[in-house]
């Protein structure tokens, strides 16, 4: 359950047939005093801003981020998951009634989370994304797990990104990963998009449901997975084998996705057990990385469903 929060649900006005070779998981609290206008408690909404939608967007924290959530579906999933403390919800005043807004208000009330209502200009100034749909939330950063915990469960199906800096692609990968039954997503601490407001909104709440590991580097993470008998498969347009011919649905595996354009780094390609590609039938040479990731993830999911393992 969520921990004690202030002013439950009330609105207040304010400012991604052969085998490769390799060896061998209400009661409302009292109103806090000495608050500045437009501020809940002692925690302001101030932030270090980068370009909207960029990897530098939002506050700077150690870890993957995820403390700013924008968009109606993303905020509702944040509340439904109830896995981390939500500091405040901000709504734009004058929004047309909608069932999803009623859900957010009801969940906020149940969890005793303050809802602050502000005018459109003030809301636009607070939001990081171009279309936050009149709702945003401030929460604790997303929790992370160790890779060893990810591989401890039955037949893990993992995704790792290598040099992926576009937040829209990362958000779309999260959304598809959740739908395809991925059991964990591995993000490097460097050369990677953090989980910004844009990622959260594009993921439509999936960041709340897919476990995340934040690792120092991709090559070392690959070695850790291999030590735990997880097959590491790189999705790369230079792969000589079709992913549709790679039958690993009944084994622990991690699918590694590269950046848009450069693809997988040289060292990552060398460390992978196998490089695979998606056969292209049209005139366009390649797919967007999030689209390619979706094709690959759902091919694995289809095989697992056929084996009764999804």
What residues does each domain of the chain span?
11-15+26-139, 147-306
Domain pair 11-15+26-139 / 147-306, same fold:
no
Pick the CATH number of 11-15+26-139 from 2.70.70.10, 3.60.70.12, 3.40.50.80, 3.30.1330.30: 3.30.1330.30
**CA triplet 29, 30, 35: central angle to 5 degrees?**
120
Phi, psi at 125, each rounded to 5°? -70, -30
Predicted pLDDT at 8: 44
Q: Strand 274-277 vs strand 135-139: parallel, antiparallel, or unpaired? A: unpaired
How many angstroms separate the CA atoms of 8 and 285, rounded? Answer: 53
Residue 260 · residue 169 · CB < 8 Å: yes
How many angstroms separate the CA atoms of 191 and 289, rounded? Answer: 16
Residue owning tokens 């401890």: 152
Q: Strand 115-118 vs strand 86-92: parallel, antiparallel, or unpaired? A: parallel
Closest C-alpha among 74, 68, 83 to residue 2: 83
Residue 115 · residue 91 · CB < 8 Å: yes
**CA triplet 181, 187, 191: central angle to 5 degrees?**
145
Residue 249 · residue 150 · CB < 8 Å: no
Predicted pLDDT at 310: 57
Phi, psi at 301, each rounded to 5°? -60, -40
What string of pLDDT tens digits covers the 310 residues of the chain? Answer: 333 333 444 444 444 334 444 444 333 333 333 433 443 333 334 443 333 333 334 444 567 899 999 999 999 999 999 999 999 999 999 999 999 999 999 999 999 999 999 999 999 999 999 889 999 999 999 999 999 999 998 889 999 999 999 999 999 999 999 999 999 999 999 888 899 999 999 999 999 999 999 999 999 999 999 999 999 999 988 888 999 998 877 799 999 999 877 889 999 999 999 999 998 888 777 788 999 999 999 999 998 887 766 5
DSSP state of 244: G
How many angstroms separate the CA atoms of 236 and 278, rounded? Answer: 8
Look at the alpha carbons of 254, 146, 187, 125 in this order and tell me if their dihedral is positive or negative. Answer: positive
Contacts of 10 by beta carbon, 8 Å cutoff, 6+ apart: 28, 109, 114, 115
Q: CATH fold of 147-306, please?
A: Alpha/beta knot (3.40.1280)
Tokens (6 digits) for 191: 């050369």
């Amino acid at each position: 359950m969520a921990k004690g929060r202030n002013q439950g649900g009330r609105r207040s006005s304010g400012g991604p047939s052969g085998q490769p070779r390799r060896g061998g998981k209400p009661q409302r609290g009292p109103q806090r005093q000495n608050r500045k206008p437009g501020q809940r408690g002692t925690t302001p909404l101030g932030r270090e801003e980068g370009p909207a939608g960029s990897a530098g967007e939002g506050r700077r924290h150690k870890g993957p981020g995820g403390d700013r959530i924008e968009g109606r579906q993303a905020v509702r999933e944040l509340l439904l998951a109830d896995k981390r403390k939500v500091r405040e919800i901000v709504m734009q005043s004058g929004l047309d009634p909608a069932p999803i807004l009623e859900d957010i208000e009801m969940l906020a009330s149940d969890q005793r989370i303050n809802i602050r209502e502000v005018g459109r200009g003030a809301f636009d100034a607070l939001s990081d994304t171009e279309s936050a749909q009149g709702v945003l939330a401030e929460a604790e950063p997303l929790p992370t797990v160790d890779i060893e915990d990810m591989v401890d469960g039955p037949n893990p199906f993992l995704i790792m990104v290598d040099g992926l800096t576009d937040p829209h692609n990362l958000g779309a990968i999260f959304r598809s990963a959740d739908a395809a039954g991925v059991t964990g997503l591995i993000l490097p601490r460097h050369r990677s998009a953090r989980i910004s407001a844009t990622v959260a909104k594009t993921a439509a709440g999936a960041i709340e449901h897919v476990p995340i590991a934040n690792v120092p580097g991709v090559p070392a993470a690959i070695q850790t997975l291999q030590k735990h008998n997880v097959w590491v498969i790189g999705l790369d347009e230079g792969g000589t084998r079709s992913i549709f011919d790679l039958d690993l649905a009944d084994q622990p595996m991690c699918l590694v996705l590269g950046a848009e354009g450069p693809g997988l780094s040289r060292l990552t390609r060398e460390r992978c057990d196998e490089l695979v590609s998606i056969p292209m039938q049209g005139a366009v040479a390649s797919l967007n990385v999030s689209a390619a990731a979706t094709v690959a993830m759902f091919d694995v999911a289809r095989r697992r469903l056929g084996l009764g393992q999804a």
